[in-house]
Structure 1
Amino acid sequence: MSVDPHPITVWHGSIRALASHAKEVVDGAEWAYASSLKYPRHRATVLASRAGFRRVVAQYVAVSPQHLQVTRVCGTCQRPHGPPKLPHAGYPALWTSVSHSGDCLLIAVSTLGPIGVDVEVVRARRTIAATAARCFTPSELAAWEEEPLKDRERTFYQYWTGKEAAFKLYGLVSHPRDIEVTLSRCGAAYARAPDGHDCWPLLSLAVGSVNVAHLCVPKQKHYEALLQTKFTAGAAGTTMSPLPIPVC
C-alpha cells in the first residue's frame, strides 16, 4: 500500500512488538546480522529497527516491506550496521533518520531534504553533571545550571537529543560542543552549526512521559511545513504509527 506522504512525518513504534514479528519482513542478511549479536536486547533492537524501517518506507515506494531494497553498509568497517540507504533508482527521493531508546523506535521520513531525529529515555545518571560539563557549550551549561534541580535531568536529555538530531542532519562534527542548542519553553528550539552561520530548527516530539525526543530540519520553511501538517496518533504495535506533532 502506498501513502500520500506529508513533507515530513515522524513514525513511532514499540521495539518489543516490532521485534516479535520482524521475521515476517526482514531479509536474510538482516536476520543473520541480528542473530550474530551477543545480547538479546541488542538483537531485538536491531530487528525492530530493520522491520520498522521496512514497514514505514515501503508505504512511500509502493512495494511490500519484504521486497524493499535497503543497504546498510558501514563506510568505515563495511559491516551491515550503517544508516539505511535506498539504492533502487526507481524509488522516489526520500530522506530518513532512525533513533531508538528503551522500547521506543522513531523513524523520520522527509520528501524535502535531510532530517535528523533522536530519542532518549530519561534516566538517572550519576555522571550527568560531568557529562554536561564535558559536552555542553558554555551557554548551554549556564542555561542548564539555572534550571531547578528537579528539572535538570530531563533538561539534560532535551539538550542531548537536540545535539544528536542536529548531528544526524549535519554529520560533520567531531565533538558535542561543536553544535549549540537553544531551547524554548514552548517546545520549539534551534541548533547552531559549527561555523556559527547555519541555524536549524528543532522540534520537541511528544513520545511519552519517560522519553525526550527532537526532530531537526535544515530550513525554516521545512519547519513551517511540518507545523502545518496534522497527524492522527495511533497505537504502537507491529506496525509504525504517525506521531502527533505539538504546535507551539
Structure 2
Amino acid sequence: MMEWQVANAIPHLSNHTCQVWLSKTTDMQPWHVRMLNDEERKRAQSFRKDQDRARFIIGCALSRLVLATQLNMAPHQVPIDRTCPICHKAHGRPRLPHGLLQWSVSHSGDVILVAFTTDAPVGVDVEWMNATWDLDVVKMADGILTEREIVHILQMSSNDRIRGFLIYWTRKEAVLKATGEGLKIPPLNVAVSGPQQAPRLLAFTGRPDDVDNIILHDLNLDLNYVAALSIFSKTQKRIEQYDASVLMQEGFGWKDYYI
C-alpha cells in the first residue's frame, strides 16, 4: 500500500489525480480558527467535547488551505457552502459554487482525512478501532451488512471480526458519501467486496449503472484505523497521499497572515 508523504508544499491538483490529506488532532493551532467563516466558528463552538471541536476545526482549516492554493485565493475567502438542501441549515456536505472542485472530509479518533478531486464526486471514510472492544458484530451489522457479508464476517476468526466489519463499513460509507446523500441511502443498498479482497463495488440497489462508474481504494493507516476512498469516475485517477502535519503547523505562508 502507498505511504503518506510529508508535504512541504501543496501540489497542483490535476484532472488525473485525487489528493488525500492526513491530519491529526495534535496538529491543531490557534490560528486555524481565524480561517473559518462565521457559520464554521459557530458550529465549532457548539461541540461539547474538545476532541470533536478539534476534529471539526482541523477538517475545515485543512480544506481551506488546500482549496486556497488550487483556487489562488486566501483560505478565509474560499466560498464554502454547507447549506443543507432539506432544512437549509449549515450542516450539509461542503461544496463550492458552480461545481468547482470536489472534496470529502472524515474523522475518527485522532485522525482527520480530506480527499480532493477536480471534477469527480469523491467520498472518504475513516474509523477508529479500539483493540479492547468486545462487541457483538452481528448486532452491529444489522441494517448495514447483507446476509452474504454477515456470513463472510462469521467465517473470520473472532479477533478479526471487528476489523472485517469496519472494512465493509468504510467501503460502503465512502461510496455513500461520494453520492452526496450519505446515510440517506441505506447501507444495505450497497454491496462491496470484503476483507482480504480488493476493494470493489459489487452492487448498488436502484443504481446499477453506478457499479461500473465507482472506483474504490483502501487507505493505509496504522493498525487502529480502517479507511476507504471512493471516486465516481470511469477512468482511474492517481491517488496521492499527503501527511498534512507540516502544513497544519507552518501554514506554508498563511500562518503569519492569521496570527
**TM-score, structure 1 length as denominator?**
0.82
Do structure 1's residue 179 and structure 2's residue 190 form an aligned pair?
yes
- The question of whether the paired residues in 2 share the 8 Å contact of 1:166 and 1:191 is answered with no
Do structure 1's residue 109 and structure 2's residue 116 form an aligned pair?
yes
The code of the aligned residue for 2:237 comes to A
Q: Relative to total residues, which structure has the larger helix share, 1 or 2? A: 2
Q: Partners in 2 of 1:180 and 1:215 — Cα distance? A: 15
Identity %: 26
Do structure 1's residue 98 and structure 2's residue 105 form an aligned pair?
yes
Q: Partners in 1 of 2:100 and 2:79 — Cα distance? A: 14
Structure 1, residues 23-71: CA drift from partner, whole Å, max 9, x if none? 2321233212211333333322222221121112112111121221111
Cα deviation, residue 182, structure 1:
0.9
Q: For 2:203, which of 171, 192, 201 is the aligned residue?
A: 192
Judged with a 3 Å threshold, the aligned counterparts in structure 2 of structure 1 residues 194 and 20 are, in CA distance, closer, same or farther, namely: farther
- The question of whether the paired residues in 2 share the 8 Å contact of 1:73 and 1:82 is answered with yes
Do structure 1's residue 206 and structure 2's residue 220 form an aligned pair?
yes
The code of the aligned residue for 1:24 comes to R
The code of the aligned residue for 2:72 comes to A
Cα deviation, residue 187, structure 1:
4.5
Q: For 1:84, which of 84, 94, 115 is the aligned residue?
A: 94
Cα deviation, residue 101, structure 1:
0.6
Query: Which residue pairs with 1:54 in the alignment?
Result: 64
The code of the aligned residue for 2:36 comes to V
| RMSD of aligned residue pairs (Cα, Å) | 2.5
SS of the residue corresponding to residue 113 of structure 1 reads coil
Query: Which residue pairs with 1:245 in the alignment?
Result: none
Q: For 1:26, which of 11, 32, 36 is the aligned residue?
A: 36
SS of the residue corresponding to residue 156 of structure 2 reads coil
Judged with a 3 Å threshold, the aligned counterparts in structure 2 of structure 1 residues 127 and 74 are, in CA distance, closer, same or farther, namely: farther
SS of the residue corresponding to residue 135 of structure 1 reads coil
Structure 1, residues 86-144: CA drift from partner, whole Å, max 9, x if none? 12x5xx83111111111111111112411111100013252432011432111211111
Cα deviation, residue 213, structure 1:
0.5
Q: Partners in 2 of 1:140 and 1:52 — Cα distance? A: 35
Q: Partners in 1 of 2:195 and 2:177 — Cα distance? A: 21
SS of the residue corresponding to residue 87 of structure 2 reads coil
Q: Which protein has greater RCO, CA pairs closer than 8 Å, 6+ apart? A: 2
Q: For 1:5, which of 13, 18, 27 is the aligned residue?
A: 13
Q: For 2:47, which of 37, 55, 70 is the aligned residue?
A: 37
**TM-score, structure 2 length as denominator?**
0.79
Query: Which residue pairs with 1:134 in the alignment?
Result: 143
**Unmatched tracts of structure 1, length 5 or more:** 241-248
Structure 1, residues 134-155: CA drift from partner, whole Å, max 9, x if none? 3211121111111122111111
- The question of whether the paired residues in 1 share the 8 Å contact of 2:201 and 2:215 is answered with yes
Q: Partners in 2 of 1:179 and 1:2 — Cα distance? A: 34
Q: Partners in 1 of 2:134 and 2:71 — Cα distance? A: 42
SS of the residue corresponding to residue 217 of structure 1 reads strand
**Unmatched tracts of structure 2, length 5 or more:** 1-8, 250-259
